[in-house]
Structure 1
Amino acid sequence: MCGRFALTSTPEAVETFLDVIEMEDFPPRYNIAPTQPILMVTSSGARPHGSNLPERRAVLVRWGFIPAWAKAPKELPLLINARGETAAEKASFRAAMRHRRTLVPASGFYEWRRAGRGRAQPFWVRPRDGGLIAFAGLMETWSEPGGSEIDTGAIVTTAASSDLASIHHRMPVVIRREHFSRWLDCMGQEPRDVADLLRPAEPGFFEASPVSDKVNKVSNVDPDLQEPVEETSSSEHVADPEQLSLL
């Protein structure tokens, strides 16, 4: 699963990595949590003059997917993740998988290993070689009864790679740069055509370091959240209940 992540690279780095146009400035974020705004990159479908690739734009969406058909979102569970194995068939995500696939730029994500009843050890999981990654994302625009609209999104997950499975059995889907265009091409690529991308990252792609339980609190947003600590077999604090229950 993915319940917390970080984006600490500069806007210029994100713009270059994802070939985004009109990227707005934003600060580094070390503890991005559900219901907060997250950056998603979409393909407009239009091709700029002299280019063979459609334009890509960055948008801010609420992390917490609301299906377009939802009448009372507060009665639904908080949908921060979509299981890659079933998203194309699930009523909540089916339309987005067909028409609104996105990329979510990230520097890495946090995951919790259960260390006994009521205990969990957080880990900071980042690319072994550093740099940016892009999670597979889904986006939906929900219309309130009053007519206003809100853009919402979820991160697609898959089974954990063998080297991360001891921490948690799920992980976000990472779309490699050479597959960005295919994943974003909702006009030419149906869900079945991109199903092969919904797989775990290869073992060794990520490295995981135990970090302090300060990351459990959304209000903690400083860089020291990612500093390695000695792993303990029994942490005094447990991660947010949402973090451990939304599988």
Structure 2
Amino acid sequence: MTQTRHDIEPGRRRALGLLLAAAAAVAAGCGTTGGPVPDGYYRVERGDTLYSIARKHHRSVRELTRWNSDITSPGQIEVGQLVRVRPPGGSAPASTGTGQAVTDTPRADSGSSRPPASGIRLQWPADGRVTGGYAPPASKGLRIAVPANGTVRAAAAGRAIHVGNLRGYGMLVIVKHNDDWLTVYGNLDQPLVTEGASVAAGQEVGRMGASASELHFEVRGNGKPVDPMAYLPSRG
């Protein structure tokens, strides 16, 4: 079967993870290459390794990889990258110094972690049939076949923290709903919102192409992809 740009390769998934981290940092008032580092993060410097960062902050490498969706192996860090060194939404016991945290529980699966304690209610972002489901690590969202010139709507109110192109996702809009949740809308033909704009639930955020195409839709809680079907209403 011919691979389409919706069949996201590991490198492309990592690119989205880096973009999400950067967008979140900008939303918090900083970038990945300069400015103040937000509380709970560390900016990678030349010569750093994930092990040295973990040791400096009394954490384990396993904790850092669990808290940072863009890091899938210890060697995947870059100078200027923001690394979360404190768990999302709270604190956790420090590592014993042996590489194992005192209360370090395993991840539920290799594709995502448990969603935040806060919930979110979403509406369908587009009309059309679901042609691809959530199946990590290969697919971290839904593919929805949208009619020609169809519009894409915000699944909930929030703020557009990124509008632009990303390889493998085409034109991409990311909407941050609160500190825990964001949604991703990929493969758009044209964005209908600007970066930084407030977005209402159901507001049109993008338009698809002149021929029928597929929307890539992701839901992320604490930066980790979750199954969108668990937060969308059932269709009659």
**When the two structures are superposed, what TM-score results if normalisation uses the length of structure 1?**
0.21
When normalised by structure 2's length, the TM-score is 0.22
Higher strand share: 1
